[in-house]
Amino acid sequence: MTVPQISPPRRILMGPGPSDIHPSVLAALAAPTVGHLDPYFLKVMDEVQSMLREVFQTTNHLTMAISGTGSAGMETCVVNLIEPGDRMVVGVNGVFGGRMAEVAERVGAEVTRIERPFGEVFTPEEVATVVAKVRPKVVGIVHAETSTGARQPLDEIAKIVHDAGALFVVDCVTSLAGIPVEIDKLAIDAAYSGSQKCLGCPPGLAPVTFGPKALEVMDQRKKKVSSWYLDIGLLRNYWGNNRAYHHTAPINMNYALHQALRLVLQEGLQTRFARHQLHHTALKAGLEAMGIRYSVAAETSLPMLNSVLIPDGADDASVRSQLLNEFGIEIGGGLGPMKGKTWRIGLMGETAQKSNVLLFLAALEQCLNRQGIRPAPGAAIVAANALYCSINN
């Protein structure tokens, strides 16, 4: 049987992830593969760790890239900190808060869920009430809920958790390198992310970081970690000075993450945060000019993941299909109770560009017209351009 060589179409990835990838990151994937204990690769690992610390804004020694996607990072944090019977409080206001709670339940935690409707965020007061009642070992919160586009403020919640003597675990899959993730400032005990969002790298690695209190808890475990593959006690012997064999790391994926992190730090974190915010603001101006509203309150709306309400009369699947097939633009549909009600428009990492914003707005206008929805012609482009021109001037 003759199988043709793969030839993927070119897309503009404006969904909830993966995001567009810089050519130099793709080129890094094609660099020569060496062994996972080769001195050259060990040097790459050291540099990845160092750059991840800068992006996480931490001095945590135990900062590394787990071989797996963001969900592997989630499991790593949970399974290493939780033993059967431990109490954990998890904020569930979207799909990924629910996933964190399920992971904790599967490893035997007594999970208490704080629930909010999709798109809303938690108040410090409701977290404080539950934490005081439950007295958990661990509290888990999603910083940037990919399923809803909501940004959870962390400052006050971090203090509440620490005052209660609990560990604070934060999902930063969508937020890392797009908005500030201040691990040391907030004394976040463990956090995880994914390579494919604002870091601008293909999916396949999950950056994680663990603070001193988390390490202390792991060192005092009474039972072995339920996952051999994700056992930090074993992994830190590979990522640390011992370099003890654990598994064959994805060499070329780490090359790619290395280059992606170089680009992040060359741009500068503050400049990168400002870029995401700028293009979010322009996109929002254009969408509002077409009468499209966000599904999340303005004060908690993420700049890199724009969740908007589908206009009355528009067919969700048809619009997304036309965007993909005629314009090469991918956006995401809603998840859970938001399925068929929202579109999720990503502006992550390399995707957060003026050209993508303007092309998307023009393409969406055509798609809506085909659905019989006719916003003022060109109004979206005019509104977005006005925002860009005001910044340039």
Give dist(CA 170, CA 189) in Å, integer.
8
The whole-number pLDDT of residue 85 equals 97
Task: Return the structure tokens found at 71.
Answer: 């969900």
Give dist(CA 191, CA 173) in Å, integer.
9
The whole-number pLDDT of residue 392 equals 67
- Taking only the tens of pLDDT, the chain with its 393 residues reads 899 999 999 999 999 999 999 999 999 999 999 999 999 999 999 999 999 999 999 999 999 999 999 999 999 999 999 999 999 999 999 999 999 999 999 999 999 999 999 999 999 999 999 999 999 999 999 999 999 999 999 999 999 999 999 999 999 999 999 999 999 999 999 999 999 999 999 999 999 999 999 999 999 999 999 999 999 999 998 898 888 889 999 999 999 999 999 999 999 999 999 999 999 999 999 999 999 999 999 999 999 999 999 999 999 999 999 999 999 999 999 999 999 999 999 999 999 999 999 999 999 999 999 999 999 999 999 999 999 999 865
- Name the CATH code of domain 23-266 (choices 3.40.50.2300, 3.40.640.10, 3.40.50.300, 1.10.10.10): 3.40.640.10
Q: Is 304 helix (H, G, I), strand (E, B) or coil?
A: coil
Name the residue type at position 312: D
The whole-number pLDDT of residue 30 equals 98
Q: How does strand 138-142 pair with strand 110-115?
A: unpaired
pTM for the whole structure: 0.97
Domain segments of the chain: what residues? 23-266, 269-392
CB 290 within 8 A of CB 369: no
The whole-number pLDDT of residue 311 equals 97
The whole-number pLDDT of residue 321 equals 98
CB 60 within 8 A of CB 53: yes
The fold adopted by the segment(s) 269-392 is Aspartate Aminotransferase, domain 1 (3.90.1150)
**Are 23-266 and 269-392 the same fold in CATH?**
no
Neighbours of 19 (CB within 10 A): 26
Report DSSP letters for 78-127, one per residue: HHHH--TT-EEEEEESSHHHHHHHHHHHHTT-EEEEEE--TT----HHHH
